[in-house]
Amino acid sequence: MDILLVEDENAIAEPLEAGLRREGFRVERVATGAAALAAERADLVLLDLRLPDIDGTEVCRVLRSRSDVPIIIVTAKGEEVDRVVGLELGADDYVVKPFGFRELLARIRAVLRRTRPDTMSGRLVAGGLVVDLPSRRATLEGVDLALTPKEFDLLALLASEPGTVVSREHLLREVWKTDWYGSTKTIDVHVASVRKKLGDPHWIETVRGVGLRLAPQP
């Protein structure tokens, strides 16, 4: 699962990022509010309130206005009013520095269980489509889809947040494990094949100049 870590203090961010990666999370780390708002979508955001450019509460407000991504505020501002403001702006939890890594990890998993229960169980559901990550099996209306490994990874990434546009660069990085941003013809070939197997090309929409998104069909 992808975590966006918004923290400008290296002494905190570096060991936290390393710990989360050891626990199996993919982590994108940014140090400013502007970078947080421009970052790729994530499954959860760890957000410091004291940032060098934009106040963290404003970042929280904007992120919440865009999506329902779970947000955990992690900050040294521990007064009750700060906690209340953060929660009222849409944060799902609030952790005050200094904190223990295991406590933070437990809070992350608790928030994900509450807000993304299917994802935490390894089961992604979008309309009649079910993508089971542990078994690497995908079904549509109960019928198995005969996907290649890359097709499964592509569909799973899109199904992790239906309706959200995923950039081609992100697809290449996560599915093909490359930062090559030249021709993305291989993505088009795989998408065409997955569309055919889903039986309706409208399941995967192309957003010109941006990327692709899964659009569950009624």
Complete domains list, the chain, with CATH: 2-119 (3.40.50.2300), 122-214 (1.10.10.10)
Q: What are phi and psi of 78, to 5 degrees?
A: -105, 5
The average confidence (pLDDT) of the chain is 87
Per-residue pLDDT averaged across 73-91, rounded? 75
- What's the CA angle centered on 142, arms 137 and 146, to 5 degrees? 40
- Reported as a single tens digit per residue, the pLDDT across 172-192 is 877 887 666 556 788 999 999
Out of 9-23, 68-82, 140-154, least confident range: 68-82
Position with higher pLDDT, 185 vs 195: 195
Question: What pLDDT score does 59 carry?
Answer: 94
Question: What pLDDT score does 126 carry?
Answer: 86
Is residue 121 very low, low, confident or very high in pLDDT (cuts 50, 70, 90)? low
Out of 125-129, 137-141, 160-164, least confident range: 160-164
Helix axes 10-22, 101-115, angle to 10 degrees: 60
Q: Which of 17, 7, 23 is nearest to 74 (CA)?
A: 7
Identity of residue 107: R
Per-residue pLDDT averaged across 115-120, rounded? 65
Q: How many residues in total does the chain contain?
A: 218
Per-residue pLDDT averaged across 140-156, rounded? 94
Indicate if the pLDDT at residue 14 is higher than 60: yes
CB atoms within 10 A of CB 59: 26
Indicate if the pLDDT at residue 1 is higher than 90: no
Q: What are phi and psi of 206, to 5 degrees?
A: -95, 125
Per-residue pLDDT averaged across 101-127, rounded? 79
Out of 62-76, 156-170, 200-214, least confident range: 156-170
Question: What pLDDT score does 6 carry?
Answer: 97
